Amino acid sequence: MSRSPDKLLEVENLHVSFRAQGGEVHAVRGVAFDVAQGETLAIVGESGCGKSVTSLAVMGLIPRPHGKIVAGSIRFKGTELTALSAKKMRRIQGTDLSMIFQDPMTALNPTLTIGSQLTEGIVYQKKISRAAAYQRAIDMLEMVGLSNGAQRMKQYPHQFSGGMRQRIVIAMALICRPSLIIADEPTTALDVTIQAQILELFDQIQKETGVSMIMITHDLGVVAKTADRVAVMYAGKIVEMGSKRDIFYHASHPYTQALLNAIVRLDLPSDTLKPIEGAPPDLFAPPEGCSFCERCPFAMEVCRHVQPPATTVDGHHTAACWLLDKRADGIRQKVENY
Enumerate binding residues for another protein (CB under 8 A).
Answer: 59, 61, 89-95, 98-99, 101, 103, 106-112, 120-121, 124-125, 156, 158, 169, 172
Between CA 135 and CA 132 the distance in angstroms is 5
Specify the residue, 96 or 294, whose C-beta has the smaller distance to another protein. Answer: 96
Crossing angle for the helix pair 162-174 and 114-126, nearest 10 degrees?
Answer: 10
Crossing angle for the helix pair 114-126 and 130-143, nearest 10 degrees?
Answer: 120
Specify the residue, 217 or 311, whose C-beta has the smaller distance to another protein. Answer: 217
Specify the residue, 114 or 321, whose C-beta has the smaller distance to another protein. Answer: 114
Q: How far is the CB of 106 from another protein (least distance, A)?
A: 4
Reading across the β-sheet that carries 237-243, which strands appear in turn? 97-100, 180-184, 212-217, 40-44, 229-234, 237-243, 317-320, 310-314
Q: How far is the CB of 55 from another protein (least distance, A)?
A: 10
Q: Which residues contact 279 (CB under 8 A, 6 or more apart)?
A: 295
Residue 84 Cα distances to 75, 89, 90, 107, angstroms: 11, 6, 9, 26
Specify the residue, 98 or 256, whose C-beta has the smaller distance to another protein. Answer: 98
Of 164, 152, 33, 168, nearest in space to 100 by CA: 168
Specify the residue, 59 or 258, whose C-beta has the smaller distance to another protein. Answer: 59
* Residue type (1 letter), 60: G
Phi, psi of 6 (to 5 degrees): -80, 115
Q: How far is the CB of 159 from another protein (least distance, A)?
A: 9
Between CA 122 and CA 177 the distance in angstroms is 10
Specify the residue, 215 or 313, whose C-beta has the smaller distance to another protein. Answer: 215
Q: How far is the CB of 60 from another protein (least distance, A)?
A: 9
Q: How far is the CB of 198 from another protein (least distance, A)?
A: 17
Q: How far is the CB of 56 from another protein (least distance, A)?
A: 9
